[in-house]
Amino acid sequence: MTKTYEVRTYGCQMNVHDSERIGGLLETAGYAKAEGEPDLLVFNTCAVRENADNKLYGNLGHAASLKAKKPGMQIAVGGCLAQKDRDTITSRAPWVDVVFGTHNIGSLPILLERARIAEESQVEILEALEVFPSTLPTKRDSVFAAWVSISVGCNNTCTFCIVPSLRGKEKDRRPGDVLAEVEALVADGVVEVTLLGQNVNSYGVEFGDRQAFGKLLRACGEIDGLERVRFTSPHPKDFTDDVIAAMAETPNVMPQLHMPLQSGSDDVLKRMRRSYRREKYLGIIERVRAAMPDAAITTDIIVGFPGETDEDFEQTLDVVRRARFGSAFTFQYSKRPGTPAADLPDQLPKAVVQERYDRLVAEVNQIAWEENQRIEGRRVEVLVSDGSVSLGGGKKDAATKRLTGRARDNRLVHFVPGDAEVRPGDMVEVEITHGAPHHLVSDAPILSVRRTRAGDAWEARQGRTEVRSVGLGMPQIGVPDPLPAAVTACAAG
Ligand code: SF4
């Protein structure tokens, strides 16, 4: 009988990307995705989140009881926490069959087999990348949107971040390999790709071309059928004007920028070892907006970094007000074992951090809401979501009969399909009737629907051509679950 698997993903997009590879590898090895209780449960872990290890051992405890009821079930732990804690995992949770690291995802099927035959846990952690994960088979959640890794690892040493010690130095994939993967994805029905790297702006450092990222964006613009290109994460330190020009001059590169700020205080940035300053950051935003007036700019911010004063925090609020972010992932600083910042003096009391955090969130939300209201009355093109990770959202809202998708600037849009035949992966044009704090709403009739190859691919995957619409009054389909709650952006980048 075919063995089944389930992958539980924690942390950032890099882990989501790796999980797609893990799924692909397992399916190549003969496993099938589990509908119920799996024969193999894989935890793809994150070390960035607070209490990540406690949560992992809690989950592993639950997995042990599943395993006790299901002889032959295997449990594997991979990702950043596995890379960091290695042997600790099998000593604290001896029922785990395989521990594998971030550099050897490709070994998972062999390790599982070895564990089965030897009847003992297998731990294999490599210090350097063996095979670029993108070259491994993949099992994408979405048929029309895909992550494409352009680099792994990071050469920076931000003091709050564990990534460099777990993912290693930056390794860049050759542009030809990246573009070949994008072309293959497009041939497969994909219309949107997100180029992925811890610091996309330093792409090319390994092969000696500092303008490689801008060139890569322009080359993506030449790929027929590729409608939307996004990227994450850029680093303000390495952001150059040729990238802004490439974004503005390449029609399929979306008017959107998620650029981590982390702090608006130069002193705090220094202690974070983030080697840009607030004026440089604001200068990039100004030039992006001059080149792309409708670009939506979003960010990550950490509040309460050790030694952050009231004045430092005011500086962050000042940048937030000047930058007018479309949204922000906001984090309360907390110590991460293994990071340099964990040993810094002047760790702040929780109450101080909480009070600043609340003020920051209120400010960010108010600005985001105002920015969304500015879009009321505009026509926007929406790529209809199937709830895939890169698109988010996606459930048909039973109460309001709305569907969701993403605008070109990546804003989440809820719209009413009416009687129109709309499939995930198709493009619709709608008029925004209401800007809410975290999304846009169109309650007006759809202005146009464009059926796409991506919609065809989605339909083909459903394997049922008789159900073609998710519009009101039409037969309903089961749209996959939206973004798993555990999968959110991390504070890296
Ligand atoms: S925060 Fe981002 S840029 Fe800084 S070290 Fe971590 S991965 Fe690298």
| Cα–Cα distance, 364 to 358 (Å, whole number) | 10
Give yes or no for residue 241 having a pLDDT over 90: yes
pLDDT reported for residue 450: 96
**Probe target for ligand 1 pocket from 48, 149, 151, 156, with the most ligand atoms within 8 Å of CB:** 156
Count: domains in the chain: 3
pLDDT band at residue 112 under the 50/70/90 scheme = very high
pLDDT tens digit sequence for 188-197: 999 999 999 9
Residue 84 has pLDDT above 90, yes or no: no
The alpha carbon of 492 and the centre of ligand 1 are apart by a number of angstroms equal to: 5
Residues 251 and 367 placed together within one structural domain of the fold: yes
Residue 154 Cα to ligand 1 midpoint, Å, equals: 6
pLDDT digits (tens, 9 = 90+) for 55-74: 899 999 999 999 999 989 99
Cβ atoms of 232 and 253 closer than 8 Å: no
Ligand 1 center to 199 CA (angstroms): 7
Answer with the one of 340, 373, 406 that is the final residue of a domain: 373
Give backbone dihedrals phi and psi of 39, rounded to 5 degrees, phi first. Answer: -80, -20
Give the atom of ligand 1 at the shortest distance from the alpha carbon of 233: 2
Query: Residue 318, exposed/middle/buried by CB under 10 A (0-12, 13-18, 19+)?
Result: middle
Same-domain pairing of 233 and 323:
yes
* pLDDT in the model for residue 486: 30
Decide if 277 is inside a domain: yes
Q: How far is the CA of 84 from the centre of ligand 1 (A)?
A: 16
309 Cα: distance to centroid of ligand 1 (angstroms): 23
The reply to whether ligand 1 has any atom less than 6 angstroms from the CB of 199 is yes
Give the mean pLDDT of the chain.
Answer: 88
Q: How far is the centre of ligand 1, averaged over its atoms, from the C-alpha of 120 (Å)? A: 36
Instruction: Please indicate whether residue 492, judged by its CB atom, sits closer than 6 Å to ligand 1.
Output: yes
Residues 46 and 181 in one domain: no
User: Does the beta carbon of 493 lie inside 6 Å of ligand 1?
Assistant: yes
Range of the domain at 215: 133-373
Does residue 485 fall inside a structural domain? no
Does 63 share its domain with 109?
Answer: yes
Predicted confidence band of residue 436 (pLDDT cuts 50, 70, 90)? very high
Residue 416 falls within a domain, yes or no?
Answer: yes
Calculate how far, in angstroms, residue 31's C-alpha sits from the geometric centre of ligand 1: 35
Question: Which pLDDT value is given to residue 466?
Answer: 36
User: Is 174 a member of any domain?
Assistant: yes
pLDDT higher than 60, residue 490: no
Please give the full DSSP string across 7-59, using - where no structure is assigned. Answer: EEE-BSHHHHHHHHHHHHHHHHTT-EE-SSS-SEEEEEE-SSSTTHHHHHHHH
Q: What is the CATH number of the domain that holds 253?
A: 3.80.30.20
CATH of the domain at 418: 2.40.50
Q: Does 98 lie in the same domain as 137? A: no
Rounded to 5, what percent of the chain is helix, strand, coil? 35, 20, 45
235 lines ligand 1 (CB under 6 A): yes
Give yes or no: residues 434 and 290 share one domain: no
**For ligand 1, mutation pick of 152, 161, 268 (most atoms within 8 Å of CB):** 161
The reported pLDDT for the residue numbered 1 is 79
231 and 342: one domain?
A: yes
**Contact (CB, 8 A) for 93 and 74:** no
Q: Is residue 148 part of a domain?
A: yes
> pLDDT > 70: what percent of the chain?
90
Residue 198 CA: nearest ligand 1 atom is 7
CB of residue 159 inside a 6 A radius of ligand 1: no
Residue 475 lies in a domain: no
Q: Please check whether residues 90 and 188 belong to one and the same domain.
A: no
160 and 278 belong to one structural domain: yes
CB of residue 154 inside a 6 A radius of ligand 1: yes
Band (pLDDT 50/70/90 cuts) for residue 338 is confident
Whichever domain contains 120, its CATH number is 3.40.50.12160
Q: Which pLDDT does position 375 carry in this prediction?
A: 97
Reported pTM: 0.83
- Which residue has better confidence, 152 or 135? 152
Residues 384 and 369 grouped into a single domain: no
Residue 148 contacts residue 178 (beta carbons within 8 Å): yes
429: in domain: yes
User: What phi and psi values does residue 434 have, to the nearest 5 degrees?
Assistant: -155, 130
Whether 415 and 338 share a structural domain: no
Number of the ligand 1 atom closest to the C-alpha atom of 167: 7
Tally of CB atoms within 10 A around 448: 11
Q: Is 163 in the pocket of ligand 1 (CB under 6 A)?
A: yes
Of 337, 356, 373, at which residue does a domain stop? 373
Q: How far is the CA of 485 from the centre of ligand 1 (A)?
A: 23
Structure confidence at residue 68 (pLDDT): 94
151 prior amide bond cis, ω within 30: no
Q: Are residues 118 and 12 in the same domain?
A: yes
484 part of a folded domain: no
Residue 189 CA, ligand 1 centroid: distance in Å: 33
Instruction: Give the Cα-Cα-Cα angle 457, 139, 133 (nearest 5 degrees).
Output: 130
Q: Which of 5-14, 275-284, 418-427, 462-471 has the lowest mean pLDDT?
A: 462-471
For residue 427, the tally of other CB atoms under 10 A from its CB is: 20
Which of 124, 146, 181 is the endpoint of a domain? 124
